[in-house]
Amino acid sequence: MYREIHNTAEDMVFAQVTETYAALEEQGSDICACRQCRLDTACYVLNRMAPRYILSNRGVARIERQAREHQQTRADIAALIHEGIKRVSHNRRPTADHIDGDLQRPDSRPVFNIPTIVGRLFNGLNFEPLSGVRVTLYREGAPVTMKDSNWQNPYDLVPSIQGTYTFWPASVSANTAGIHRVFEFSVKIEAPDFEPLDHFFSIPVASDLQPAPSFSMDRTFKLPDLYLFPPGEAEQNDNSERGELNPRLSVPKTDGLTTGPLSGGLSSISVGRRAVNY
Ligand SMILES: [Zn+2]
């Protein structure tokens, strides 16, 4: 379903991680450059930068734009890679043997591989990406355990990631491969000057023979963009835009999938604002 969407940030990061490790090896560094450590570093970096999605069949225009942005991006990625290498080499996976070659897969057991979950948060008043926001992923009333320590939950948005948050939930055991199950999640979004927001969603997953070894584009679940508003601001905006004489009558009822005033691309707002009233 999502295979036609490609995150070009992955290509840039994987290429640059490979270059960086090669350069370190050439300098005689004793930092482990095994495949597992390189993947961990790549995940560390990808987890802290905005994804750059293209539809694989119309990527050309986007790639041209990226060429212009490329210079700055490389510098940002380089800084993140150095942070990532430091962190990965200080927290070596005890279960990996750190020799080059294929990833270690000590546990070959059927699991539901939950995809990585990606979304963006904006200020509903000026449409700027948000930072200083805490996003927590929940399932069955509790924060979800992440795949490993390179992924955080709750996730705190810093300015350099342009309102993007990502989660990679730990896989869930299955009795056998090929079972279909729907997993219900919610993200709770909290920021000092905004109304908190809960967004509910479900992800259908078919179980696999073994845990997914690495971050993969085929396993990304993209949430709709979400917009936060300061308390009370959303209603005021709706009314002033439509010039209603009696604002009380025109406030959309929070009955869930509101249409009309909040239509089209903004419909995810009403999903979130309904949840606020729980
Ligand atoms: Zn290693």
Q: In the prediction, which pLDDT does 236 show?
A: 47
Question: pTM to 2 decimals?
Answer: 0.52
Q: In the prediction, which pLDDT does 161 show?
A: 76
Q: In the prediction, which pLDDT does 187 show?
A: 97
What pLDDT digit, counting tens, does each position of 147-194 carry? Answer: 877 778 999 888 777 888 889 899 999 988 888 999 999 999 999 989
Distance from the CA of 41 to the center of ligand 1, in angstroms?
A: 10
Q: In the prediction, which pLDDT does 269 show?
A: 34
Q: In the prediction, which pLDDT does 128 show?
A: 92
| Secondary structure (3-state) at 187 | strand
Query: What is the mean predicted confidence (pLDDT) over 130-156?
Result: 90
> What span, in angstroms and rounded, lies between the C-alpha atoms of 268 and 262?
9
SS (H, E, C) 137-183: EEECCEECCECCCCCCCCEECCHHHCCEEEECECCEECCCCCCEEEE
Is the domain spanning 108-278 CATH 2.60.40.1120? The answer is: yes
Q: In the prediction, which pLDDT does 98 show?
A: 79
Q: In the prediction, which pLDDT does 4 show?
A: 64
Q: In the prediction, which pLDDT does 212 show?
A: 74
Distance from the CA of 114 to the center of ligand 1, in angstroms?
A: 25
Query: What is the mean predicted confidence (pLDDT) over 252-261?
Result: 36
Distance from the CA of 32 to the center of ligand 1, in angstroms?
A: 5
Helices 35-46 & 60-90 angle (0-180, nearest 10): 120
Most confident of 3-7, 124-128, 251-255: 124-128
Decide which of 105 and 75 is more confident: 75
Distance from the CA of 250 to the center of ligand 1, in angstroms?
A: 60
Work out the end-to-end distance of the chain between its first and last CA atoms, rounded to an integer number of angstroms: 32
Distance from the CA of 37 to the center of ligand 1, in angstroms?
A: 4
Q: Do 157 and 226 touch, CB atoms closer than 8 A?
A: no
Residue 210 burial (CB < 10 Å; 0-12/13-18/19+)?
A: middle
Amino acid identity, position 187: V
> For the chain, what is the mean pLDDT?
75
Boundaries of every domain in the chain: 5-90, 108-278
Q: In the prediction, which pLDDT does 240 show?
A: 41
Amino acid identity, position 92: R
Distance from the CA of 98 to the center of ligand 1, in angstroms?
A: 4
Query: What is the mean predicted confidence (pLDDT) over 219-236?
Result: 81
Q: In the prediction, which pLDDT does 213 show?
A: 65
Distance from the CA of 38 to the center of ligand 1, in angstroms?
A: 7
Q: In the prediction, which pLDDT does 261 show?
A: 34
Distance from the CA of 273 to the center of ligand 1, in angstroms?
A: 45
Distance from the CA of 79 to the center of ligand 1, in angstroms?
A: 20
Distance from the CA of 42 to the center of ligand 1, in angstroms?
A: 13
Q: In the prediction, which pLDDT does 3 show?
A: 54
What pLDDT digit, counting tens, does each position of 204-226 carry? Answer: 998 888 777 666 656 788 899 99
Distance from the CA of 25 to the center of ligand 1, in angstroms?
A: 13
Q: In the prediction, which pLDDT does 270 show?
A: 31
- At 244, the pLDDT band (50, 70, 90 cuts) reads very low
Distance from the CA of 217 to the center of ligand 1, in angstroms?
A: 23
What pLDDT digit, counting tens, does each position of 19-72 carry? Answer: 898 888 888 888 888 888 999 999 999 999 888 777 655 544 555 555 556 666
| Secondary structure (3-state) at 224 | coil
Residue 103 has pLDDT above 90, yes or no: no
Distance from the CA of 195 to the center of ligand 1, in angstroms?
A: 43
> What span, in angstroms and rounded, lies between the C-alpha atoms of 221 and 119?
9
Distance from the CA of 91 to the center of ligand 1, in angstroms?
A: 10
Classify strands 164-167 and 116-123 as parallel, antiparallel or unpaired.
antiparallel
Classify strands 134-139 and 180-190 as parallel, antiparallel or unpaired.
antiparallel
Classify strands 116-123 and 220-222 as parallel, antiparallel or unpaired.
parallel
Distance from the CA of 168 to the center of ligand 1, in angstroms?
A: 21
Q: Do 165 and 158 touch, CB atoms closer than 8 A?
A: no
Distance from the CA of 88 to the center of ligand 1, in angstroms?
A: 8
